[in-house]
Amino acid sequence: MPQGDHLPRLTQAAALFTFAMDAVDETGLVRPLLIPAERPLTVYIDRQEIVTLMTLGQNPEWLVLGYIRNQNLIADLSQIESVTVDWEVGAAAVATRTGQFKAPAKDAPRVVTTGCGQGSMFGHLYDQVSQLQLPDGQATQAQLFSVIDQVREHPSVYKQAGSMHGCALFDLMGDDAGAVQDTPLLRLFIEDVGRHNALDTLSGWDWLQSPDQRVRRPLVYTTGRLTSEMMMKAAQMAIPIVMSRSGTTQMGWDLANRLGLCVIGRAKHRRYLCFAGGHRIVGATQPG
């Protein structure tokens, strides 16, 4: 059976990203403005209501898949038959191949996190994730600087409308021979109202890739803060290096150290701070 037969069928229900309105500035001048859309999308799996995500709606099918993956609701993509997004009713209907999905116990503890969105998850996930083994993976400083440049130059809804988080998935692998190149390949750039949605959407896209299309040496860049939950999602996606223009928190730092995850924050132009996992940066001056 060819690979494609295992992939879920997806709608392509991208919605309008921005909404035009008139603001009034401090001098009384009317200022036409674009603001980001924010719309509820209720996820059902085999007709059971799972969660309502508040999203920009750029790639809702990938978002739903990534949410399912990162929350560990379904272990294997081949179990999913289809994802059908209908903005008219604000619903994403996920059908499994068996039609027998069992939601996690209703009295399972919920965690509401510090993150921008998708904060809710089941408490045992943290413990599970901190046991994960990340793949090998290193980046050169030249590659890190290139990531910063590429993200800065990428067209974005943020530049139009603000109030948005962006997330990008890079491949550090230069060519099939494995030669290191200074310019990592930007595979996907996603924006959403919350940094969690953006990362989950990358995860959903990544899940759908066939082995030959897969990102071989992944690095994720996010504009958002690197809290514990962002580290958890990176680990679920087997990403060994995460970068951000923002900072981290104590719990995020602690989890990164347990996982051996390389965490680079405050990344701007030719500067950054490595918070954890510095062994994954090659060619950097070592202290001392």
Positions in 100-129 near a copy of itself (CB under 8 A): 106-107, 109-120, 123
Give the whole-angstrom CA distance, residue 252 versus residue 39: 29
**DSSP conformation letters of 225-276:** -B-HHHHHHHHHTT--EEEESS-B-HHHHHHHHHHT-EEEEEEETTEEEEEE
Give the whole-angstrom CA distance, residue 223 versus residue 244: 5
From residue 231 to residue 260, what is the string marking binding to a copy of itself with x (rule CB under 8 A)? Answer: ---------------xxxxxxxx-------
Does 209 sit near a copy of itself (CB under 8 A)?
Answer: no
Q: Hunting for tokens 């309008």 — which residue is that? A: 16
Min dist. Cβ of residue 192 to a copy of itself (A): 8
Min dist. Cβ of residue 131 to a copy of itself (A): 18
From residue 17 to residue 36, what is the string marking binding to a copy of itself with x (rule CB under 8 A)? Answer: --x-x-xxxxxxxxx-x-xx
**Which residues in 223-249 are b (16+ Cβ under 10 Å) and which e?**
bbbbbbbbbbbbbbbebbbbbbbbebb
The answer to whether the CB of 182 falls within 8 A of the CB of 142 is yes
Q: Return the number of the residue (165 or 217) whose C-beta is nearest a copy of itself.
A: 165
Pick from 202, 215, 274, 280: which binds a copy of itself (CB under 8 A)?
274
Instruction: Enumerate residues 166-195 that contact a copy of itself by CB under 8 A.
Output: 192-194
Binders of a copy of itself: how many residues, by CB under 8 A? 72
Does 8 sit near a copy of itself (CB under 8 A)?
Answer: no
Nearest to 180, CA basis, from 207, 129, 146: 146
**DSSP conformation letters of 190-213:** EEESSHHHHHHHHHHHHHH--TTT
Pick from 3, 78, 163, 210: which binds a copy of itself (CB under 8 A)?
163
Does 223 sit near a copy of itself (CB under 8 A)?
Answer: no
Q: Return the number of the residue (33 or 238) whose C-beta is nearest a copy of itself.
A: 33
Min dist. Cβ of residue 31 to a copy of itself (A): 6
Structure tokens, 118: 């998708």
Instruction: Enumerate residues 69-98 that contact a copy of itself by CB under 8 A.
Output: none
Q: 117: phi > 0 → left, psi -120 to 50 → alpha, else beta; which?
A: left
Does 282 sit near a copy of itself (CB under 8 A)?
Answer: no
